[in-house]
Structures are given as C-alpha cells and as structure tokens.
Amino acid sequence: MHESWKPVLQTEFEQPYFKELSKFLHSAYAQKTIFPPKQQVFSAFTTDLNSVKVVIIGQDPYHGPGQAHGLAFSVRDGIQLPPSLQNIFKEIHAETGAAIPSTGNLQRWAEQGVLLLNNVLTVEAHLAGSHRGKGWETFTEHIIQYLNEHCDHLVFLLWGRDARNKAKLIDTKKHLILESAHPSPLSAHNGFFGNNHFIKCNEQLKQWGKPEIIW
C-alpha cells in the first residue's frame, strides 16, 4: 500500500471488528482457495491517498482463477474480460468513442487517482458473496467516511445496490455522487448503459480544476 494510507489503515487494523475479520481470513486462506492472493488484498490502496479524485465502489472480487488482483472490476493482463468489465468498456466507448482495450487491468486508472474499492475485499473461489458479513463492509464504510471527511471534491461512482447503499455516508455539498444500476449483464440494461458517468465525472473534475481521467 502507499505510505499515505498507512495511518488510516493501521487505525482500522487495531479495531475489534478487524481483528475478528483477520482471524476469519487467516483460517480461510489456510484451508480454502481465496481470491485475490493474500498479498494483493489491499492493492486498491497503492493509489496515493492525496491523489484520489474518483472513487468506484465494487461488490466483491471476481471468484474465478487468476481474475481478482485487488482492484475493483479489474483483472490482470492476459485474463479474459469479465462481462461486467466488458459492459464498462462498452459504455466508455459509447460515451467517448475510445477503443475497447485488449486488457482489463485498470491499474492505469488507479495511477490517475481512481480508487477502485470493493465493498468486500475477499471471496472464496467460485462462491460469489461468500465473505459478506465478515467485517469487510464495516472496513469499507470507514474508508468512505474518511474520504468524505478529509478529502475535498471527489466523484463517487456508485453502481448497483451495494455501492448505492454507501451514498448516505457522502456529503453532496463537498462531493459529487453518480448512481446507476450495476454493469452486470443482469442489470446493465436497467440504467447502467447510457448513464454517461464517465463524461459527467470528467466534466465535474474539470470544473473543480482537476485533471480529467483518461478512461
């Protein structure tokens, strides 16, 4: 993780809820196949806290082999694009005309100040949602509360129920919230496609005098 995050995360690591979560994870990683790999669980926090401009909240990591690497919606180079990520790229193409990338590795977004944070940071192989209710949701809420209080002028992209439930933590006098359906094939046609979030995000960043994201 980036040095800028260490004091924030250390405070969380010392909380009773996180100590219970750590016990659960220690056992889970020892007994089962868990994604992402242990050393990549906190990869979202390699983005410099002081450079964060946009926050995208995912659900839980991809649960197929080789997919999850700690950034919400992202997959490592060489991995086939999951359907949700395909739909994200389709929407970017529809809005901006940008070509659909050959790689789903979103590290390039993270390096521009996009925090790609899942609601739940780990998952058992082939069992979506298997680590819900273990403490990660509290962790994510605390991170969003910290960003809300200590940062100015962030754009939050909240797609789907889990992410949209976080809207209540965000002060809309300081930040912009953009909400829609999730990019999953099950819901993308119910409001994700055509949401124009990538254009709207950049328009707001420009108004704030911040560099736009090259999606």
Round the average pLDDT of the chain to a whole number and report it. Answer: 97
Query: 57 with 162: CB under 8 angstroms?
Result: yes
Rounded alpha-carbon distances, angstroms, from residue 178 to 27, 152, 191: 37, 16, 12
Confidence grade of residue 187 (pLDDT, cut at 50, 70, 90): very high
48 is catalytic: no
pLDDT of residue 126: 96
Catalytic: which of 48, 60, 77, 152?
60
Tens-digit pLDDT profile for residues 38-91: 999 999 999 999 999 999 999 999 999 999 999 999 999 999 999 999 999 999
Confidence grade of residue 128 (pLDDT, cut at 50, 70, 90): very high
Tens-digit pLDDT profile for residues 151-168: 999 999 999 999 999 999
Tens-digit pLDDT profile for residues 116-126: 999 999 999 99
pLDDT of residue 67: 96
pLDDT of residue 110: 98
Query: CA 206 to CA 211: how far, in whole Å?
Result: 6
Query: CA 142 to CA 171: how far, in whole Å?
Result: 14
pTM for this model (two decimals): 0.96
Confidence grade of residue 212 (pLDDT, cut at 50, 70, 90): very high
- Where do the H-state alpha helices sit in the chain? 6-13, 16-31, 83-96, 107-110, 136-150, 161-164, 197-207
Confidence grade of residue 205 (pLDDT, cut at 50, 70, 90): very high
Query: What percent of the chain has a predicted confidence (pLDDT) above 70?
Result: 100
Query: 194 with 184: CB under 8 angstroms?
Result: no
pLDDT of residue 144: 98
